[in-house]
Amino acid sequence: MKKIVIASNNAGKLREIDAILAPLDFEVFPQSAFNIPEAEEPYCTFIENCLTKARHASAHSGLPALADDSGICVDALNGAPGVYSARFAGEPKSDERNNQKLIESLQGHANRKAHYYCVIVLVRWPEDPQPIIAEGAMYGEIIDTPRGAGGFGYDPYFLIPELGQTGAEIPMAQKNKISHRGKALAELVEKLKSVRGEG
Ligand SMILES: O=P(O)(O)OP(=O)(O)OP(=O)(O)OC[C@H]1O[C@@H](n2cnc3c(O)ncnc32)[C@H](O)[C@@H]1O
Ligand SMILES: [Mg+2]
């Protein structure tokens, strides 16, 4: 069984990633198990921040590390909050204040289209020159009134039109089949199958 550290402090993400990787041949540790300090996320692309988080966790743990960088991109806001989704309403991070700011920013906008994006990176060691990279997206619309108690982050306000339900109304197993994160992890697992040799 291969040990990997998950380079995230977000409990909602960790739950979803665990559920997807659990049936596979991995022994998964959250980075809190190694008291890893939070990495800086200074870049303006998801992939750069994701690589930084993965390398940081691998350096601190001595293990291969998997990072997730994700966010919600709203068409009427020119893709904001995007890479700034976790801190949209400033520090300290707060889902409640982020959601409030999102709804306020969309006042008067008829276009409610948005998508979640996720990139996943797996590095075998801190300076791995060949990280495995996978990505996924999920499309939907922002609603003004929250619905559902599941998920995390922006999920209560993110309506998936084909289902008529928000990300917080569907069970996690269903979210993992269709979400940005679920798709990225599925792609990562496929790519891992073609990796040869050790690591
Ligand atoms: O960096 P780590 O420690 O992993 O945790 P984080 O919450 O800071 O994670 P990001 O920097 O990747 O920011 C992602 C933000 O995007 C939002 N987000 C991402 N995926 C989501 C999902 O599936 N459901 C709801 N919100 C999501 C949520 O606000 C997250 O905090
Ligand atoms: Mg973060």
Run of H or E including 135: strand 132-142
- Which tens digits make up the pLDDT trace of 6-54? 999 999 999 999 999 988 989 999 999 999 999 999 999 999 999 999 9
Regarding the beta carbon of 68 and ligand 1, being less than 6 Å apart is answered: yes
Q: Which of 93, 132, 76 has its CA nearest to residue 84?
A: 93
Q: Is the pTM of this model over 0.95?
A: yes
Distance CA 120, CA 53 (A): 10
Does 198 fall in a domain?
no
Angle CA 118–124–128, to nearest 5: 90
Q: Is 69 a catalytic residue?
A: yes
Query: How many A from CA of 133 to the centre of ligand 1?
Result: 18
Would the CB of 69 count as within 6 Å of ligand 1? yes
Q: Does 90 reside within a domain? A: yes
Pocket test for ligand 1, best of 31, 70, 119 (most atoms within 8 A of CB): 70
Domain range for 22 is: 2-193
Among the options 18, 25, 68, 69, which is catalytic?
69
Whether the CB of 8 sits within 6 Å of ligand 1: yes
User: Would 135 be classed as within a structural domain?
Assistant: yes
pLDDT of residue 179: 98
Beta strand pairing status for 158-160 and 165-166? antiparallel
CA distances in angstroms from 24 to 80, 161, 189, 195, listed in the order given: 35, 31, 9, 16
CATH number of the CATH domain containing 22: 3.90.950.10
Query: Has residue 83 been placed in a domain?
Result: yes
Number of domains the chain is built from: 1
CA quadruple 17, 147, 74, 108: dihedral, nearest 10: -170
Answer yes or no: is 181 a known binding residue: yes
In a domain, 41, yes or no: yes
- Position 199 in a domain: no
pLDDT in tens, 140-199: 999 999 999 999 999 999 999 999 999 999 999 999 999 999 999 999 999 999 886 544
pLDDT of residue 197: 57
Q: Mind listing the pLDDT tens digit for each residue in 62-102?
A: 999 999 999 999 999 999 999 999 999 999 999 999 999 99
**Ligand 1 and 70: CB distance under 6 A:** yes
**pLDDT confidence of residue 196:** 67
pLDDT of res. 25: 87
What local confidence, expressed as pLDDT, does residue 195 receive?
Answer: 82
Angle between helix 11-21 and 180-193 (nearest 10): 40
Q: How far is the CA of 69 from the centre of ligand 1 (A)?
A: 7
Q: Is 167 annotated as a binding residue?
A: no
Q: Residue of the nearest CA to atom 18 in ligand 1?
A: 71
